């Protein structure tokens, strides 16, 4: 990652590496696209003030709502092309390096909720995981066939929620408006009997164009990285490793499916293991 900025920008512009989050897993059970608000294209959002920043452009509501409980492991899955699940292809190709972020928003009806009007809280984040050499969360996502797993926070109130997964690609973020945002939303119902209602932010509104994690030249030796948006609810700030990040997949890529379920699985469905 030690390129001149001019060379990096030239290379980046020549590479088409767009992608979208398309599938959801719950405790290793493949929910496919059953509750996904699939974006209209794999192109990024580039304005921090656009309403599309919430759930992406043209992302129509799904007819399905996936079921999760506090403490469950939920996995979001990203690929370059619609319906692609092949691990031979990187989730987001080229030098589209940057953080992976996940938010949730309590809503009255996940099927009709408007993402840009919702109140969001961050539940997971993976930024600069190592500075020796620099290695971002998006590369960990690629190592794991596009899968990123997080925990539904314990104690949150039951009801309908939107889950918002996002990669922010920083390959041309050294200039204003260069950061590329790749968000997508999923519709879920949270069970349990909790009562917690975490502090929230608006999206758009949580990011500024000049935030240090958004306006940044990543073609230098970084020691730290300021994650965009609010702090993650009930999670410590992630430390940056000073040793090389392991690239071995923690997701079981040998069991990666080729088809995409479109119906919410029945209760008791068996999972394949988790990242």
pLDDT of residue 168: 98
pLDDT of residue 274: 52
Convert 88-133 into a string of H (helix), E (strand) and C (coil): CCCCCCCCCCCCEEEEEEECCCCCCCCHHHCCEEEEEEECEEEECC
Q: How far apart are CA 268 and CA 251, in angstroms?
A: 21
Residue 7: partners with Cβ closer than 8 Å, 6 or more residues away = none
pLDDT in tens, 135-193: 999 999 999 999 999 999 999 999 999 999 999 999 999 999 999 999 999 999 999 99
**What does the pLDDT average to over 40-56?**
97
User: What's the pTM value of the predicted model, to 2 decimals?
Assistant: 0.93
Q: Does residue 238 surpass a pLDDT of 60?
A: yes
Name the pLDDT band for 9 (thresholds 50, 70, 90): very low
Name the pLDDT band for 268 (thresholds 50, 70, 90): confident
């Amino acid at each position: 990652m030690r390129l001149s900025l001019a060379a990096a920008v030239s290379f980046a512009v020549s590479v088409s590496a767009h992608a979208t989050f398309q599938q959801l897993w719950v405790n290793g059970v493949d929910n496919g696209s059953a509750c996904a608000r699939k974006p209209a294209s794999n192109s990024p959002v580039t304005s921090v003030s656009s309403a599309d920043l919430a759930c992406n452009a043209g992302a129509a509501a799904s007819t399905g709502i996936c079921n999760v409980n506090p403490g469950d492991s939920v996995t979001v899955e990203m690929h370059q092309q619609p319906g692609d699940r092949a691990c031979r292809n990187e989730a987001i190709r080229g030098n589209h390096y940057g953080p992976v972020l996940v938010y949730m928003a309590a809503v009255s009806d996940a099927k009709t909720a408007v993402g840009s009007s919702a109140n969001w809280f961050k539940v997971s984040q993976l930024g600069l995981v190592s500075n020796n050499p620099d290695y971002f969360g998006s590369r960990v996502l690629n190592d794991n066939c596009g899968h990123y797993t997080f925990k539904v926070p314990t104690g949150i109130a039951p009801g309908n929620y939107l889950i918002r997964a996002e990669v922010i690609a920083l390959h041309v973020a050294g200039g204003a408006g260069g950061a590329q945002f790749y968000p997508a939303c999923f519709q879920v119902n949270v069970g349990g009997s909790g009562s917690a209602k975490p502090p929230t932010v608006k999206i758009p509104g949580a990011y500024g164009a000049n935030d240090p994690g958004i306006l940044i030249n990543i073609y230098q030796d970084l020691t730290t990285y300021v994650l965009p948006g609010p702090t993650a609810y009930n999670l410590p700030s992630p430390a940056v490793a000073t040793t090389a990040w392991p690239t071995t997949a923690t997701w079981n890529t040998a069991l990666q499916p080729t088809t995409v379920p479109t119906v919410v699985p029945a209760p008791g469905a068996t999972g394949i293991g988790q990242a």
